[in-house]
Amino acid sequence: MEIHKTAIVHSKAQIEEGVKVGPYCVIGEHVRIRKGAILEAHIFLNGWTDIGENCHIYPFATLGTEPQDIKYQGEESKLIIGQGTIIRESVTLNRGSQGQRVTQVGTDCMLMAYSHVAHDCKLGNEVILANGVAMAGHVIIDDFAVIGGLSCIHQFTRIGEYAFVGGASAVSKDVPPYGMAVGNRAKLFGINLIGLQRRGFSTESINKIKKAYRQLLASDLNVSQAVKKIQDSSEGGSAEIDHLIDFIKKSSRGICV
């Protein structure tokens, strides 16, 4: 491991082999940094924070601080970051609060400069947050979703797998898997076609998803009626459509149609 002489590292912090800690970093007592991680400079890590293998953290990031939640009373809570995740300049991630007590970021994510992940949020694998994304507490973002810059996400909102949220959006309801949403308040405008193609979805699967979204957006049916029609159609029964239907049925906030 390489620890710069100006870094302040608590004697009980766990730092594994191959870790590089740059100038003026501050690492607290309960922090664990797994092998191969790189901390550039001026990074503050505190609380029960677990940094995954081969993560790369850039200057002025602040990770593992107390949640911005007035109900929090100093309980032990965690921030867990998966391996290979990149955290750019001035990103802030808070630990969990009461109840779940865990904020979690998956593997191979990219959190761009000035983005904020609040208490008890859950980010899946390969999620991208562009510059300045602001998340309230208890937000869930599923695998492979992309959130455009300067977007704000309301507490307890969920964004589904392979979804895309356009820049400067205000997301107050759930964004279904494979969808593309934008605006204030964010509304669905179709499927994330480019994203699905890049992720290797077959033409057949994409066409099924298109037809399902057409029922949601281009018919005079309400959401419940549209879901019933999708289930009864030829698209029903495929893994992607089953997942879409399950997401909509479980949505507590409703979807942003």
- 47 labelled catalytic: no
Residue 149 corresponds to which tokens in the numbers above?
A: 């810059």
**Element spanning 26, H or E:** strand 26-27
Rounded Cα distance, 51 and 207, in Å:
40
Taking a C-beta distance cutoff of 8 angstroms, is the pair 230, 241 a contact?
A: yes
* The one catalytic residue among 120, 132, 138, 179: 120
Q: What is the largest CA-CA distance in the chain?
A: 66
Q: What is the dihedral of CA 75, 76, 77, 82, to 10 degrees?
A: 170
Rounded Cα distance, 255 and 194, in Å:
22
Cα distances (Å, whole numbers) of residue 11 to 2, 27, 64, 106, 212: 15, 9, 18, 28, 56
* The one catalytic residue among 30, 42, 116, 119: 119
* The one catalytic residue among 82, 137, 148, 160: 137
- 119 labelled catalytic: yes
Nearest CA-CA partner of 116 in 99, 100, 130, 126: 130
Angle between helical axes of 203-217 and 223-232 (0-180°, round to 10):
140
Residues marked active site are found at 119-120, 137
